[in-house]
Amino acid sequence: MVILNPRKNAHGASVPAPESAANDPALLKRRQIARAINVSPRTIDNWQKQKKIPFLKLGVRCVRFYLPSVLAALRRFEVKEVK
């Protein structure tokens, strides 16, 4: 994906556009992971508290998520077709 107008953070480094964050294997913030899997940030908070999804706690208020790990954890809740 080509970003024509990359955003810059406070240090002048390029910041990926939000829609490209879901395709990047980097660690994501709560709002980014919520957008990537189409749920609300509040749902992410609840799943985190219920330990339904994996997360990294990097500080008191710094929590990050790895999208492939979150998707793998959510697959446990997939309901198979019953005949």
CATH number at residue 23: 1.10.10
Coil, strand or helix: which one is 64?
strand
Average pLDDT of the segment spanning 22-33 = 82
Structural domain of residue 60, as residue ranges?
18-75
Q: Give the pLDDT confidence score for residue 13 in this predicted structure.
A: 57
Residue 81 within any structural domain of the chain: no
Query: What is the phi/psi pair of residue 49, to 5°?
Result: -65, -35
Residue 9 falls within a domain, yes or no?
no
Amino acid occupying residue 71: L
Could you give the number of structural domains in the chain? 1
| Mean residue pLDDT across the chain | 82
In a domain, 83, yes or no: no
Band (pLDDT 50/70/90 cuts) for residue 81 is confident
Q: Enter the pTM of the model.
A: 0.66
